[in-house]
Structure 1
């Protein structure tokens, strides 16, 4: 029980925690899950800070000392200390018999397969959450910062994502093989590509097995590190999007502002509707039939001409409403009964995009 006593007496504390939209409650069994670096541990520690510390046991399953001190006496320790809330952080199908306790919180990268748990998914910061980390009163300036430093809390708190910090984050969260694969995938960020094409091109640069690639791609998708967005046309390849701009930018120094802008828009859309699809070369369509068109710097006239040229595709898809996402422009018009409304990203994400 010595290891359990150590965890009991040395629960980590948050520093500079900024509240998130996602919250925890007193449900008896909770699975908090989400991708690496999205702030799961900070969120659960903030929840624990409001409870009586003598009734809490927080166990970090990533602690290397656990390798030499199995947790077989966990139930006895819970009973002895009258533990009411147990947290198993960094859970990864560990060989642990889940004990009986008033409240059990499991923190993992992927959701666990157990219907008795309330599943709570934590995603990277959306723009509204990011603003809570910012000191600027100007949302337009904060948007530029958001594109630059990304959507992971650790970079938002420090207000920077230097090359060294991003490198250290990757090294601490991913294996060398995963980093190598992510580096290759970043070359195709916001582009259409199939997993078979990824395999064919990867093996030209480094040794890789098809089995490992397919399993790792599935793991990265399930966890939410990458997204392969379906195309409106079933035969077309999926579009690859990363979960964070700072990481993508570090892995691909040739990433343009347009690509970063597109990733930011897609990530906002995915928070609202995981069933979005890429719609030709115009933008993204989600299940309520609204088309999101990306036009960061395009003039109103240029966007109108593009929409007019593709109006038959919109009508065939029975689209009645389209949102045009820009950097700074606002305008609206109607073409053949379809309403088009343009607004800057920072307005769209905060006002028009409330879930």
Structure 2
């Protein structure tokens, strides 16, 4: 109880914050997002609306506290301090913690804000806010530099999508991302994530990944599969399903494309660029697929996407003509080809091919 009283009297930490596309608009909200997506910044900014004596912020990842004991004592503490109307609990990481939190939901609280990086966590009667990393439009707002379009895009590629990275010099990004990984993951998980970099934009073979790891360390196949599931659950990687073939191999992408360069010196700009395009598709809030011929396919929008950073428009249109029958078979009425700078448009029998530079495409989504 003394520790809770100490936490209650601590001032909220100062944060750099710029309005995002997301806001806390419900009295009971569960924020779900990967580490570095800005959950804590959003929570603390929201708490600034309330008087100091009316709010309590608890960070369960604070190593100075025993999170289980804190949660066990919380109900009694709130009963003794009825002036607290708003409770925020950050970095929830287990179902045990969730179960303990549900025991205080009937207290005299007007607002409850919870935050976690676990996609599977759910609480009845709570509105869920899925908070992703910065998209390109948000990055420009955060970066706040009067650069031209090409320079801003170059900075985006160098910084990645993490909220913290947007405020850093390019030379500081890799170290910052690596420190975040060391803080949030154990050594085995980091080694597996590093091996994932080999499969960026490719079909993931968990068995091949296991064989690569087994040559370097002692690890079981079950551990590899379990950690891959955890990395996806916590928003480090996304595994994209093949359209109409759920049992086929899935393609691997990083939810923050900037992680790739923090994990490996090897460069493959074409695969990196496909990952950059993939990250912008989170805006659509719908399942993304891939097909044999297209990097991405959004079934509900009848939209196929190819990432060709340096393709000539005439060659792209030639490719479009060859793929026209495949698009028709998919039921797509639009093909978007995302490039570094080329643009153009061509329609054939009701199917439109749009060649669009990334900057213009991302800002128009």
User: Which TM-score applies when normalising by structure 2?
Assistant: 0.90
Structure 2 residue 260 is the aligned partner of structure 1 residue 238: no
Structure 2 residue 52 is the aligned partner of structure 1 residue 39: no
Partner of 2:146: 136
Matched residue SS, 2:252: strand
Partner of 2:19: 19
Picking from 317, 321, 324, the partner of 2:334 is 321
Deviation of 1:299 after TM superposition, in Å, equals 0.3
- Residue 147 of structure 1 contacts residue 260 of structure 1 at CA under 8 Å; is this kept in 2? no
Partner of 2:6: 6
Structure 2 residue 292 is the aligned partner of structure 1 residue 283: no
Partner deviation per Cα, 1:233-267 (whole Å, 9 max, x = no partner): 62642111011122111212213222221111111
- Change in CA separation of 1:173 and 1:293 when aligned onto 2, cut-off 3 Å: same
- Residue 332 of structure 1 contacts residue 339 of structure 1 at CA under 8 Å; is this kept in 2? yes
Partner of 2:58: 59
Deviation of 1:79 after TM superposition, in Å, equals 3.0
- Residue 30 of structure 2 contacts residue 126 of structure 2 at CA under 8 Å; is this kept in 1? yes
Matched residue SS, 1:259: helix
Matched residue SS, 2:58: strand
Matched residue SS, 2:64: helix
- Residue 270 of structure 2 contacts residue 308 of structure 2 at CA under 8 Å; is this kept in 1? no
Partner of 2:215: 204
Matched residue SS, 1:114: coil
Deviation of 1:69 after TM superposition, in Å, equals 8.8
Structure 2 residue 202 is the aligned partner of structure 1 residue 191: yes
Deviation of 1:8 after TM superposition, in Å, equals 1.0
Matched residue SS, 2:13: coil
The CA distance in 2 between the partners of 1:15 and 1:319, in whole Å, is 45
- Residue 14 of structure 1 contacts residue 46 of structure 1 at CA under 8 Å; is this kept in 2? no
Partner of 1:260: 272
Partner of 2:192: 181
- Change in CA separation of 1:223 and 1:164 when aligned onto 2, cut-off 3 Å: closer
Partner of 1:301: 314
Gaps of 5+ in 1: none
Give the aligned CA root-mean-square deviation in angstroms.
1.9
Partner of 2:74: 74
- Change in CA separation of 1:164 and 1:185 when aligned onto 2, cut-off 3 Å: same
- Residue 294 of structure 1 contacts residue 324 of structure 1 at CA under 8 Å; is this kept in 2? yes
Task: Number of aligned residue pairs: give it.
Answer: 351
Partner deviation per Cα, 1:298-320 (whole Å, 9 max, x = no partner): 00111112122222211111211
The CA distance in 1 between the partners of 2:304 and 2:89, in whole Å, is 41
User: Which TM-score applies when normalising by structure 1?
Assistant: 0.93
Higher alpha-carbon deviation: 137-146 or 46-55: 137-146
Partner of 2:353: 340
- Residue 130 of structure 1 contacts residue 151 of structure 1 at CA under 8 Å; is this kept in 2? yes
Partner of 2:118: 110
Deviation of 1:347 after TM superposition, in Å, equals 0.8
- Change in CA separation of 1:281 and 1:69 when aligned onto 2, cut-off 3 Å: closer
Partner of 1:49: 48
Matched residue SS, 1:346: helix
Partner deviation per Cα, 1:50-100 (whole Å, 9 max, x = no partner): 222210000111122322992233223223331101111111224434412
Gaps of 5+ in 2: none
The CA distance in 1 between the partners of 2:259 and 2:34, in whole Å, is 13
